[in-house]
């Protein structure tokens, strides 16, 4: 096994290619977050969340700046038409890059009040956008433009771009941050990063059962993540959960067993599957973008 891998359970071995190594693809960001893969040109777009820029890496052109300033863009994803959709912590909105390159605000309010500061999002197979809304963009000076919290809590919302319907689906977390569906979309995993600035706050991933593709129920703690806290997470084709943590990307089986770690030399914030076969894991950590080849494939994007 490569040096960068710690194995706690034999199932981990099958997920990693024997000769794979962690590669640093780019550095120089203030805080790398929200990677999203573009198979059309083998590129990764990610947020320099504290540097207020949007960056792009590609195998052929190396690194370029896509947006500066980016209004503190955080999590990125692609919709069913391949458009980039993103959380804007600065605009306190969900935004989308249209086919002509223009950026458009899709939603920035719930019940007439500003959202806190959307952090991360996923697009479900029905085109709805599920996103987390912790207050970091209004409480942390390097993650947004400040402002007053208008919502009564930090929720996970379901937003339907087609009808503009928006409502909270998860209301029992402190600081929901990263999220991902299981391969069959019957489960929703959401990380809570409250421990980041609340002493004794949660640093775990909760899992919920999805009802009719519209609501969730029966939430419970799936895994407590240490060291640090979980931020972004993704799920592979077997339902394994890959989550960021302070020292690594940690891998959990669907039953909650921790299988192993992919050690990363900077604090991990987020990750995504990419590559032609969706078997390459791209990791945003600290000031950098990393990648490692796996023996498993991501289910989303």
Instruction: Note the residues at the interface with Mg ion (CB under 5 A).
Output: 119-120, 177, 231
CB nearer Mg ion, residue 73 or residue 240: 73
CB nearer Mg ion, residue 128 or residue 177: 177
Quote the least distance from Cβ 232 to Mg ion, whole Å: 5
Quote the least distance from Cβ 164 to Mg ion, whole Å: 25
CB nearer Mg ion, residue 175 or residue 259: 175
Quote the least distance from Cβ 55 to Mg ion, whole Å: 16
Three-class secondary structure of residue 79 per DSSP: coil
CB nearer Mg ion, residue 193 or residue 240: 193
CB nearer Mg ion, residue 12 or residue 234: 234
Report CA 73 to chain centroid distance, whole Å.
12
Quote the least distance from Cβ 278 to Mg ion, whole Å: 21
Whole-angstrom distance, CA of residue 276 vs CA of residue 266: 26
Quote the least distance from Cβ 150 to Mg ion, whole Å: 21
Three-class secondary structure of residue 15 per DSSP: helix
189: which residues sit within 8 A by CB, 6+ positions away? 179, 180, 181, 182, 205, 206, 207, 222, 233, 235, 241
CB nearer Mg ion, residue 32 or residue 151: 32
Cα-based torsion angle of the residue sequence 300, 262, 255, 123 in order, rounded to the nearest 10 degrees: -20
> Measuring CA to CA, which residue among 35, 1, 92 is closest to residue 242?
35
Contact 45, 38 (CB under 8 A): yes
Contact 4, 262 (CB under 8 A): yes
Quote the least distance from Cβ 33 to Mg ion, whole Å: 6
Whole-angstrom distance, CA of residue 182 vs CA of residue 81: 21
């Amino acid at each position: 096994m490569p040096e960068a891998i710690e194995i706690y359970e034999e199932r981990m071995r099958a997920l990693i290619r024997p000769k794979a190594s962690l590669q640093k693809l780019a550095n120089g960001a203030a805080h790398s977050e929200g990677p999203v893969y573009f198979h059309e040109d083998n590129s990764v777009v990610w947020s320099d969340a504290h540097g207020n820029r949007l960056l792009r890496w590609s195998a052929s052109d190396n690194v370029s700046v896509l947006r500066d300033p980016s209004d503190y863009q955080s999590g990125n994803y692609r919709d069913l038409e391949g458009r980039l959709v993103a959380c804007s912590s600065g605009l306190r909105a969900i935004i989308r890059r249209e086919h002509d390159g223009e950026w458009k605000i899709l939603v920035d309010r719930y019940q007439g009040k500003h959202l806190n500061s959307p952090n991360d999002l996923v697009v479900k197979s029905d085109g709805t956008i599920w996103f987390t809304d912790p207050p970091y963009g209004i409480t942390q000076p390097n993650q947004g433009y400040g402002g007053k919290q208008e919502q009564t809590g930090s929720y996970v919302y379901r937003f339907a771009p087609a009808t503009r319907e928006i409502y909270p689906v998860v209301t029992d977390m402190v600081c929901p941050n990263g999220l991902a569906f299981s391969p069959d979309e019957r489960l929703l995993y959401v990380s809570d990063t409250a421990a980041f600035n609340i002493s004794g706050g949660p640093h775990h991933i909760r899992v919920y059962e999805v009802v009719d593709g519209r609501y969730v129920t029966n939430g419970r703690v799936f895994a407590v993540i240490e060291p640090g806290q979980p931020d972004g997470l993704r799920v592979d084709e077997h339902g394994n959960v890959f989550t960021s943590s302070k020292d690594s990307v940690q891998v959990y089986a669907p039953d909650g067993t921790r299988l192993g770690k992919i050690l990363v030399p900077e604090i991990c914030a987020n990750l995504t599957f990419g590559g032609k076969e969706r078997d390459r894991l791209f990791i945003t950590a600290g000031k950098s973008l990393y990648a490692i080849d796996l023996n498993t494939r991501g289910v989303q994007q």
